[in-house]
Amino acid sequence: MPGRTLTGLLLIAGALALASACGGDDGKPEVERVPIRHLDFEGMELTAADYFDPPFVDQYPDVVAEVNGEEITGAHLASQQVYMELDRRYYLTDVPDVFPDSYAASRLEELAATDPLEELIDRALQRQAVERLGLLPSYEEAVAYTREREADIAKLSPEDRAEADELNRLQGLPITDWASNEGIVEASRYAMGQAALRSRVCPTYPPPPVPGEPTATPIPEGPGTVVVSGLGCGGLIAHERERADVVYYVRWVD
């Protein structure tokens, strides 16, 4: 089973491939949703390779949703479930002693409550917000960041470095000289843009209102002045969902 180094890099590795899209009530005819079930990995050995070539993908339609016209495919949905299962197994068995038991339990509860399709939609909305708000750095900045990332990987233990090399191999990417590969550099651009979104934009949006509590004063869209109103990007995602065009082609039946 992969450790934190490998599973922690999987979402970055798939950032460009796992695009998503959404649709609301805009007068379009109702779409008949295909019934689907969550993938069952019980008793199955999973590795990072299954993230890139997920099992049981034929159980899903080619496209399961759209977010503002961009497709979330059945393969994306299957890959997301592989990632979440690898994460779940890690917190069940491999959590370092430095983490309290309550941390692992909290993470496991969070994973159990996460809908993999909604998670992909949220990630798509964040990525689209990065582009719309002009938060992507220049290609040259991303090249410099990519070189820094490769230098950091070189400082890891031989085991963790081997995991990172395996991740690149699975994608057909170079193991050395990352900055020479356009795909890796573009993934770095999006990682940098998402970091800027989390630090500069997400804090300007209050978290979703809690029933029974007063609603916070809306904050104008855009970077602007940062007003710390809570951790995470829940407020931004809620705002993005209100304005997004999300179309679902499937529905869970389990």
pLDDT tens for each residue of 103-113: 888 999 999 99
pLDDT band at 5 (very low <50, low <70, confident <90, very high): low
| pLDDT reported for residue 201 | 95
Q: Tally the residues of the chain.
A: 254
User: For residue range 148-164, what is the model confidence (pLDDT) as tens digits?
Assistant: 999 999 999 999 899 88
Distance from C-alpha of 53 to C-alpha of 38, rounded to nearest angstrom: 17
Angle at the Cα of 47 (from 102 to 111), degrees rounded to 5? 30
Distance from C-alpha of 133 to C-alpha of 77, rounded to nearest angstrom: 27
- Which range of residues forms the domain containing residue 60? 4-252
Torsion region of 210: left, alpha or beta (phi above 0 gives left; psi -120 to 50 gives alpha): beta
Q: What share of the chain is helix, strand, coil (3-state, %, to 5)?
A: 50, 5, 40
The residue with greater pLDDT, 130 or 101, is: 130
The DSSP secondary-structure symbol of 78 reads: H
pTM of the entire structure? 0.80
State phi, psi for 157 to the nearest 5 degrees. Answer: -65, 155
Overall domain count for the chain:
1
